[in-house]
Amino acid sequence: MGTGQTDTPIRKAPAIAEKDSTVSVKPQQPDSLQAADTSLRIADSLHSDSLVLAGIPTGPLTDTSTYRKYNTHPFLPLTQKPLFMISDFRERRTLDDMFYLLMGVVLLLAFVRSAFPRYFKNIFVLFLQTSLRQKQTRDQLLQDNLGSLFVNLLFIISTSIYGALVIRNKEWLDYPFWHIVFFGAALLTVVYLGKFIFLQFSGWVFNSKEAALNYTFTVFLVNKVLGVLLIPFLFLMAFAKPGIREVSLTVSLGLMVLLLLYRYIISFATIRNTLKVNALHFFLYLCAVEILPLMLLYKLMSDYINGRF
């Protein structure tokens, strides 16, 4: 009998050895390649730092070939956060109503000049005369009641507009311009109508109708001249620059003071010849009837503007 041959089992290599056999070792880079890679990284970092300092975004852009310059434009902050702002509605201020109002004043002046040419001429002729003793010119003016009414109306309108422009330019009251004009016209009408009634009543009580008539005529004559002379200043104060407005305001106020002084001097000369009064009595009359009411009105208006009324 021959001995049986036994198969020796084949021992398999472990799986770990197979895995280890598949691991490849990465070859080392030469020193020159490492140095070039390091220099490129440093250059890229410097470039990105410079872009960040300049405020230029370094992230990816949607369209770098066409819109890159618009995305990085300093006046188009497309990459910035949106801002939330609330702005008031800008009211556009026009001067059309003022233009038509002043054109209406000029139209009224032209109507008076055309309808009553002799009366309009005699006002300035008598005003520029050295004395009011020429009764012929004064009687002609007294007979034309309709012309006197229109010129007095021109004085009230122009003076009320002048006062409203001063209040608006100085910003003393927060009221509409038209309300101030109507209030000023009503106030002037009441004041001068009351003064006319008071002077006529005083002349009747003291039996001095001639003196009262002369004084009333002088007062309203100066007012008529003032109403005509204020019209150019209305245009300057309404449409001129702030510097020219201040100059026109100063000149117009000086003109008004001169006219008031002229009125008091001529009135005193007329009354002294009629009533034989001295300067002290006339000064007391001015303080009681002319100056004191104006000071009271100024005090009331000042308190109302300052909020104490």
First to last CA, the chain: 148
Q: Are 138 and 239 in contact (CB under 8 A)?
A: no
Exposed, middle or buried by CB within 10 Å (0-12, 13-18, 19+), for 162?
buried
Higher pLDDT, 78 or 210: 210
Alpha-carbon torsion (272, 275, 278, 281), positive or negative = negative
Report in angstroms the alpha-carbon separations of 68 from 46, 81, 242, 244. 21, 18, 49, 53
Q: Is 70 exceeded by the pLDDT of residue 254?
A: yes
**pTM metric for this prediction:** 0.66
- Confidence band of 229 (pLDDT split at 50, 70, 90): very high
Contacts of 131 (CB under 8 A, 6+ apart): 269
pLDDT digits (tens, 9 = 90+) for 31-88: 555 555 555 555 555 555 555 555 555 555 455 556 666 666 667 777 777 777 777 7
- Range list of β-strands (E), 74-126: none
What confidence category does residue 130 fall into, taking pLDDT thresholds of 50, 70 and 90? low
- Burial letters for 91-124: b for 16+ Cβ neighbours within 10 Å, e otherwise? eeeeeeebeebbeebeebbeebeeebeebbebbe
